[in-house]
């Protein structure tokens, strides 16, 4: 090999070695960092904190290990205790709602837990001062944009209002109203009659349970008219009607529907009666209008004949 070729080969070899050295150094540094992260995450985090890239300000007002706000911004122990009690009662009421979802018994099963939740929320939202002249309304309800405590309570209040539970529960959340208790008793009587015959002859069920079921329907109609119903009563009545009509294929006898058919027929014939009476009345008016004209023309004709004669 000639000296020129040897020198060219050496130059290329040196150039190739120089290009490899920096990349290997980077790879080694990256692998070392990965090994550090695998072996000790805390040590790696310490390296990141101590690195020149991420360095907290030495004279910063709040350090990274901040555990509490200044005393004037902290919530009092009294308010924290109220918040804990609110959370416990909130969970109790929500658990009751879930279990009472089907069949719907949210009013009769959960009115006590809702009353307890309402009581603690009134304490939180009250203007009255607690121990140490502390009011928790601003610190727990209005201290942030979300107002989480207020929002949670409002959602449960909305469920209570939409269920119309106030129609079935006495004031102070003491017990069910007398009307509600009587309706539930009537429903139980009807269901007991259904259970007595449901495995036997369905014709006997429709006959023997007819009076009880009809009384339940009449009671439901009165409560609906007086607006003393809640969602529990509506749901129990709908389920009872479904059993009567669909499961047992029962219906009231035809003679009981005669008044309904008669009223419906009368309503259908009302337009015919109206137009017929209008037509007869208009014909009578025409006759009254034509008769005086004939009489007048006859009188004028007689006068002309008298003059000619």
| 133, 282, 286 from 273: Cα distances, Å | 79, 14, 20
Asked whether residue 38 carries a pLDDT value surpassing 50, the answer given is no
Token pair in block for residue 163? 């269920």
Percent of the chain's residues with pLDDT above 70: 61
Question: Measured between alpha carbons, how far is 71 from 68 in angstroms, rounded to an integer?
Answer: 8
Asked whether residue 45 carries a pLDDT value surpassing 60, the answer given is no
pLDDT by residue (tens digit) across 244-261? Answer: 999 999 986 544 555 667
Asked whether residue 99 carries a pLDDT value surpassing 90, the answer given is yes
Across the range 226-242, mean pLDDT stands at: 95
The pLDDT score that the predictor gives to residue 272 is: 80
The pLDDT score that the predictor gives to residue 264 is: 74
Q: Is the peptide bond before 254 cis (omega within 30 degrees of 0)?
A: no
pLDDT by residue (tens digit) across 134-147? Answer: 778 888 888 889 99
The pLDDT score that the predictor gives to residue 239 is: 96
Across the range 264-284, mean pLDDT stands at: 72
**Contact, 93 vs 117, CB < 8 A?**
yes
H or E segment and range at residue 233? helix 231-242
Residue-wise burial string across 123-137, b where 16 or more C-beta atoms lie within 10 A, e elsewhere: ebbeeeebeeeebbb
The pLDDT score that the predictor gives to residue 12 is: 52
pLDDT by residue (tens digit) across 160-189? Answer: 999 999 999 999 999 999 999 999 999 999
Residues 6+ apart with CB under 8 A from 103: 235, 236, 239
The pLDDT score that the predictor gives to residue 77 is: 87
């Amino acid at each position: 090999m000639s000296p020129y070729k040897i020198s060219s080969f050496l130059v290329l070899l040196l150039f190739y070695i120089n290009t490899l050295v920096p990349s290997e150094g980077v790879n080694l540094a990256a692998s070392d960092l990965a090994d550090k992260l695998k072996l000790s995450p805390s040590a790696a985090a310490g390296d990141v904190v101590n690195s020149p890239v991420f360095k907290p300000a030495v004279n910063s007002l709040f350090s990274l290990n901040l555990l509490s706000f200044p005393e004037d911004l902290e919530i009092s122990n009294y308010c924290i205790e109220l918040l804990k009690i609110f959370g416990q009662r909130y969970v109790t009421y929500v658990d009751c709602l879930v279990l009472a979802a089907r069949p719907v018994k949210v009013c009769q099963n959960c009115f006590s837990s809702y009353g307890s939740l309402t009581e603690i929320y009134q304490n939180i939202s009250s203007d009255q001062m607690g121990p140490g002249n502390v009011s928790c309304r601003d610190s727990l309800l209005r201290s942030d944009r979300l107002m989480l405590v207020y929002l949670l309570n409002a959602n449960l209040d909305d469920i209570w209002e939409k269920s119309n539970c106030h129609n079935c529960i006495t004031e102070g959340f003491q017990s069910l109203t007398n009307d509600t208790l009587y309706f539930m008793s009537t429903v139980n009587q009807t269901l007991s009659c259904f259970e007595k015959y449901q495995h036997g002859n369905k014709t006997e069920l429709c006959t023997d349970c007819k009076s009880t079921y009809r009384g339940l329907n009449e009671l439901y109609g009165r409560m609906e008219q007086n607006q003393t119903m809640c969602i529990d009563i509506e749901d129990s009545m709908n389920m009872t009607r479904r059993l009567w009509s669909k499961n047992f294929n029962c219906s009231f006898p035809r003679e009981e529907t005669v008044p309904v058919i008669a009223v419906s027929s009368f309503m259908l014939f009302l337009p015919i009666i109206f137009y017929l009476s209008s037509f007869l009345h208009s014909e009578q008016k025409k006759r009254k209008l034509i008769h005086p004209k004939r009489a007048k023309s006859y009188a004028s004709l007689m006068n002309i004949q008298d003059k000619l004669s």
